Amino acid sequence: MDKYLYLSATPEALIASMLPPFEFGNYLAVGTEKRTRGQAIFFEIDIEKVKDIIPMEYIERRCVPQNEKPKRSVYVSIYRVLENIPLNSLKSLYLVTDDGRVLELKQEPYIPNEDDLGLHLFQELLPVTPRVASSLNPKEFIQYMTGQVEQIKLPKMFLVELNIDQLSIDPVNASAENLPYPNIEHLRDCLIGLKYEPQKIKKTVIRFFQGELLYRTCKNGFFIGEKDNIIYYPFPTTEKLKEKYFNWWKSANIISFR
């Protein structure tokens, strides 16, 4: 049986498995007895590109069939995983709803557009998890957080940009009634501060990420990188989700409104 290697972001872990990505995502979300439910976000890793830096002997010994069934998971590491995994080993990114439906996102070049000219809201996912408002676009934000040297920096960073509608342009007057974020007035205050204090480039909205990511709030996609090496996983438009991935989208929205 084939072996796979995954980088889980929720929580951070390096996991070997004999399950291919869609089966592995379903297993992470609902388990084997279907008695648990939990959203999952993970990358598939190209084993050939990391075999010299991971304990392959341990994986070969532990990741074996049990009672003629594939081994579902072998935890290889749970600490500083992203920091030690080279970005060129990342394959697809998978988003799993809490009832086990899996959406695959593939890498594409990131090209900033007019939507990147306003303010932004980022949910950091690895290695730290604050929710941050910023005047920087996703690429610039990762470059700043992983490349600047005057204060504490991160070795690598994985985040998703969240939709803030017209607050990105006019945080003072724009309506926020359709935005499902807690303490929306605090978010508005952070955005106003960024708009009228040009010397500031970021403000923390929430210190720690709690709960599950509302997939319907994803604006353009997921970003992972270090300094100038940025990888982009675009999130499908609502129209494409309804047309091609309706069951996943329906599941994500039902969960989002529970």
The pLDDT tens digits of the residues spanning 72-91 come to 999 999 999 999 999 999 99
* Same domain, residue pair 133 and 231: yes
pLDDT, residue 255, reads 45
Tell me the mean pLDDT in the region 141-166.
Answer: 90
pLDDT band for position 40 (50/70/90)?
Answer: very high
* Least confident range of 62-76, 107-121, 135-149: 107-121
- What is the pLDDT at residue 171? 96
Shared domain for 207 and 159, answered yes or no, is: yes
Is there a domain that residue 163 lies in?
A: yes
Mean pLDDT of 22-42: 86
98 and 147 inside one domain:
no
Percent pLDDT > 90 in the chain is 83
Q: Do residues 217 and 175 both lie within one domain?
A: yes
At residue 258 the predicted structure's pLDDT band, cuts being 50, 70 and 90, is very low
Please give the tally of structural domains in the chain. 2
Same domain, 73 and 44: yes
- What pLDDT sits at residue 5? 98
Q: Which of 105, 136, 152 is the last residue of a domain?
A: 105
Q: Residues 25, 47: one domain?
A: yes
Answer yes or no: do 96 and 17 share one domain. yes
Predicted model pTM: 0.94
The last residue of one of the domains, among 105, 136, 166, is 105
Range of the domain at 24: 4-105
**122 and 100, same domain (yes or no):** no
pLDDT at 33: 64
* pLDDT greater than 90 at residue 114: no
CA distance 221 to 137: 12
Predicted pLDDT of residue 134: 97
105-109, 113-117, 204-208 — which is least confidently predicted? 113-117
Residues 123 and 91 in one domain: no
In a domain, 253, yes or no: no
Q: What is the 3-state secondary structure (H, E, C) of the chain?
A: CCCEEEEEECCEEEEEECCCHHHHHHHHHHCCCCCCCCCEEEEEECHHHCCCCCCHHHHHHHCCCECCECCCCEEEECCCHHHHCCHHHEEEEEEECCCCCEEEECCECCCCCHHHHCCEEEEEEECCCCEEEECCCHHHHHHHHHHCCCCCCCCCEEEEEECCHHHHCCCCCCCCCCCCCCCHHHHHHHHHHHHHCCCCCEEEEECCCCCCCCHHHEEEEEEEEECCEEEEEECCCHHHHHHHCHHHHHHHHHHHCC
Are residues 82 and 161 both part of a single domain? Answer: no
Q: What does the pLDDT read at residue 187?
A: 97
Q: Are residues 123 and 181 in the same domain?
A: yes
pLDDT of residue 257: 38
Any domain includes 250: no
d(CA 256, CA 252): 6
Within a domain: 246: no
Q: Is residue 252 part of a domain?
A: no
pLDDT exceeds 60 at position 256? no
Residues 75 and 119 in one domain: no
Average pLDDT, rounded, for the chain: 92
186 within a domain of the structure (yes/no): yes
Out of 105, 132, 154, pick the residue that ends a domain. Answer: 105
